[in-house]
Amino acid sequence: MRTAIKIRLKPTKEQEILFMKSCGVARWSYNFFLAENEKYYAEHKKMLKETEVRKHINNVLKPTTHTWLKEVGSNVMK
């Protein structure tokens, strides 16, 4: 027999905002990876590794143009 426990979250306004930001960053990072992978495959005829794209985001984009990525946890993009 399996039992389930239903949990209802009641986030504060700040937590709601953080949830929304996290969802947006997750969606952006997924779409960014797909676009970069598509470009790389067209040029090299092989797939790009997820770790390479994550390193590019963390080392190049986060410190310069995409500082808003720092507002959420590091595991969101994974």
What is the per-residue pLDDT for 74?
86
76 within domain boundaries: no
2 within domain boundaries: no
What is the per-residue pLDDT for 2?
82
Taking only the tens place, the pLDDT of each residue in 1-57 is 788 999 999 999 999 999 999 999 999 999 999 999 999 999 999 999 989 999 999
What is the per-residue pLDDT for 26?
95
Side-chain half-sphere exposure of 31, counting CA atoms within 13 A: 6
Alpha carbons 46 and 3: distance in angstroms, whole number = 46
66 within domain boundaries: yes
17 within domain boundaries: yes
Q: Which has more pLDDT, 21 or 74?
A: 21
Domain that holds residue 67: 13-71
Are the CB atoms for 69 and 25 separated by under 8 Å? Answer: yes
**CB neighbour list of residue 54: distance below 8 Å, 6 or more residues apart:** 77, 78
Confidence of residue 61 (pLDDT cuts 50, 70, 90): very high
